[in-house]
Structure 1
């Protein structure tokens, strides 16, 4: 397989070609009000009957082909830079990129202390023969995080810590991605209370927010169990023969790092304080997300604080002989390891800019794709319409990976469409959440996926060769869930 950056470039070429074939269109927006946690909230959403093509002087739908280079920033050769600087501190791409650099630097300091390596060795010594217990425990916890508070970007930080552990236990980088990021997306998609997808989609659809939990909670457990068993089966095979790993070549980075025997015997008060700092940071992050609704800027600052405190502890206790200057160097080196995933995040964002990143009211190819899909689904038989809603949400997730963003764009169309074709709005929301969540494990436009693959040094081509089986499994199960919900009258 070609390098991941090459794949992103070919995706950009395909997106550019679409702009020469698909005319641009736009929607009007409207305010909808819904109740959540006893509070009345409002959200700006698409008016489903307002789509119109952008017309030229002759009254024909207008094309907006991207040029090879455009001073406005929308050219094919502009896509990398424009993607890197798009967005703001609250999201993709620049916000996610800065988040990755800060946590990469902070964990560079943590890893340089040697504490994590020494703790891993002690853990391995105490879990001889019981290593597979880590997989169901971690997968379940991360899936719960995705279900309860929409965990996603946070998995990147955990993957940095867990990847060396998994490889020391005889697994690989792919296993790490499965029990961290993929687990969060399984929980995200099958959630009964995700505030960033289920709650928003139900509010827009005009049904009670967080209703249907008695169906969704067993569904979450079933999908989490499916992911756990799949991961355990793969991990067992890799433990028997590590060369079967799809990431065997790139895992060499972590295997080589394990050959350093200098500090394996040390574990003192300083190491204990570093581990307590790590634990306190994780608790602090989870509390901040759940209680204070903190997002990327606040979480990045929390991890920076962790790196700063760890550096002070390392200097005071002489962990690996670290000095303030060495702490600074390790921070820079840790941030440097994030360069490749940062470029991938920027490239993916640049692809979306070419297709139209101005929102529903600005004429774009993206809006035309959305309107055409809604029209197609409305002409299908009832059960097939329900399934096509799932298929459409899964495909559209390539273009809009944000759960709340996709809900705001698609649910105002899908909700009234479901009434027309005889599908309940609850099933329409079910199709949305499963389609929105599960394809996050494969779309290269997901910043969190590309970043997690980057920190685990898993090539995107190797990831595709592995993950497609699991995605097929998820989509078959999701299809059965949507069709079952329709035939059993899930309302």
Structure 2
């Protein structure tokens, strides 16, 4: 006799591995490369260029100086990475720790990680007051029927910020506020990332005046700084419109059918917050908290533009914002807030950033495995990869060389996501190669810009991307499944633009 009760067959579908798993496998690949690619090094030189009417100097590598490291017997040196390393060295099983503690307060990884924790904590206090929640409810109530304007307006503003002063890390703070707004008007966390961080990178890639990318790259390449601005302004308008259109297409689809969202898991958090808000309270305390937040945003943007503030200064300003907002919350008893609640809210806000902070440190560890500590004079696998790519590009026909410059910059950005850092490493090599290949140096700079900026949207080594995904509670794997189409679109358009720029003699 057969059993009448049928078994339920569970069909297991393939699931994208967690981001930490992906990074570990990339670490394995990087470790393997250290056994097959010999270490090489460059000499460096100081160059001068004019920017903002003043002469500036920068230390860059000498493209003619590359040599492979050899031992006393004249044999090539391989900086092979083992399973473990002691004395502060790098090994496969300690690349995560070494990545987490690398750098300084001025940059990746430790500076960025602490920046993320402080910002998360500060906004944890602001969110604890309930002001943002109630402000969002009031905003939704007053803008019914015109919510679709949020996307083009926000995208344009953030894109402009990326173009003018290299906005990137600052998007994290805005995403904390915008994420619950987007979810409550029917969109999702993915939409938040698009209108904040992705928009800044669209502006960054097509900038005509960004002092941290195009100005540095042009100065190193010997091209008049901020030349070709009219073409780049046109590209910025075009790419910004494309970004807005793609975002609205996705967001409107999610609004019609929430099951189409790629961030359903993370959006549950914001929907739970929505359910817990029973009344739209607004009093003097809320007004003061909101003014504190707005004033801080304006103050930080002014500091970045006027005084080149970076991680330490920005973090301290946001910490002050959280502290002041907390005191206002206690004084006006917003959500029954006490001093102890301030401390708890700071810890809770910082804890949200722990997962993306781990990813930032782990990604930095991969760079350390390849010897990419930022010094071109030290023998490393990364230097050898850079030199080999340059030799390949220099031997190709003109159009192919121009296009491959863009492809190379896109790939190299995985290892060096800093715009100015990548420019210092690659432009001294790409500029003379452009001369040999019959490509103008302006086109070489354009290839650098587009390759550096657009891949920041997807590479897990980008600290700003991982932080923004973290506050929106989106796993990188889910993000990759969503944005590969957008990246493919940008790649095709950028390829066409670089080729056209070469054919038309853009100089």
TM-score when scaled to structure 2? 0.96
Task: Note the C-alpha offset of 1:28.
Answer: 0.3
Report the counterpart of residue 291 of structure 1 in structure 2. Answer: 306
**How far did 1:255 drift?**
1.1
1:168-200, Cα deviation, whole Å (9 max, x unpaired): 011111111111111101100000011111000
* Corresponding position of 1:323: 338
**Pick aligned residue for 2:259 from 243, 246, 256:** 243
Residue 110 of structure 1: CA displacement? 0.5
1:375 and 2:391 aligned: yes
Aligned length: 490
What's 1:395 paired with?
411
Find the aligned partners of 1:129 and 1:60 in 2 and give their Cα distance: 71
Give, in angstroms, the shift of residue 475 of structure 1: 1.0
Tell me, in whole angstroms, the C-alpha distance in 2 between the residues paired with 1:117 and 1:291: 32
**What is the rounded CA distance, in whole Å, between the counterparts of 1:153 and 1:11 in structure 2?**
25
Q: Once the two structures are superposed, what CA deviation does each residue of 1:312-347 show, in whole Å capped at 9, x if it has no partner?
A: 110111100111111111111111111101111110
Q: Is the 8 Å Cα contact of residues 179 and 192 (structure 2) preserved in structure 1?
A: yes
The match for 2:499 among 483, 487, 491 is 483
Q: Tell me, yes or no, if the aligned pair for 2:118 and 2:350 is still in contact at 8 Å.
A: yes
* Aligned equivalent of 1:6: 21
Q: Offset of 1:66 from its aligned partner? A: 0.5
CA deviation digits over 1:223-272, x for unaligned, max 9?
Answer: 1111110000000000001111111122111111211034x231011111
Q: CA deviation at 1:282?
A: 0.6
CA distance in 2, matches of 1:8, 1:416: 34
Match for residue 234 of structure 1? 250
Partner of 2:213: 197
Q: Does 1:144 align with 2:160?
A: yes
Q: Confirm whether residue 353 of structure 1 aligns to residue 380 of structure 2.
A: no
Q: What is aligned with 1:42?
A: 57
What secondary structure does 2:56 align onto? strand
> TM-score with structure 1 length normalisation?
0.99
Point out the structure with max Rg over C-alpha. Answer: 2
Q: 1:83: which partner in 2?
A: 99
Number of the residue aligned with 2:421: 405
In structure 1, the residue matched to 2:12 is: none
Residue 181 (structure 1) aligns with:
197
* 1:51 paired to 2:73: no
What's the CA shift string for 1:62-110, capped at 9, x where partnerless? 1111110000331011111111110000000000000011110100000
Question: Which residue is 2:30 aligned to?
Answer: 15
Give the drift of 1:56: 2.7
Deviations 1:401-454 (A, max 9, x none): 000000000000100111111100100100011101000011111111111111
Q: Aligned-residue CA RMSD in angstroms? A: 0.9
CA distance in 1, matches of 2:73, 2:182: 62
Aligned to 1:110: 126
For 2:363 and 2:280, the matched residues in 1 are separated by: 44
Q: Among residues 318, 323, 327, which one is paired with 1:312 in the alignment?
A: 327
| Equivalent position to 1:66, from 45, 65, 81 | 81
Unaligned runs of 5+ in 2: 1-15
Cα deviation 1:332-370 (Å, max 9, x = unaligned): 111111110111111011111111133100000000000
Give the structure 1 partner of residue 45 of structure 2. 30
**1:24-52 deviation digits (Å, cap 9, x = unpaired):** 10000001000011111100001000000
CA distance in 2, matches of 1:240, 1:252: 17
Show structure 1 runs of 4+ deviating over 6 A.
none
CA distance in structure 1 between the aligned counterparts of 2:277 and 2:74, rounded to whole angstroms: 74
CA contact (8 A) 2:138 2:280 kept: no
Q: Distance in 2 between matches of 1:461 and 1:124?
A: 31
Query: What is the DSSP-based 3-state SS (H/G/I as helix, E as strand, rest coil) of the residue aligned with 1:356?
Result: coil
The separation in 2 between residues aligned to 1:459 and 1:336, in whole angstroms, is: 16
Tell me, what secondary structure is at the counterpart of 2:164? helix
Distance 1:238 1:16 in 2: 41
Mapped contact 2:133–2:277 kept (Cα < 8 A):
no
In the alignment, which of 167, 175, 179 is matched to residue 159 of structure 1? 175
- CA deviations 1:454-476 (Å, max 9, x no partner) are 11111111111111100011111
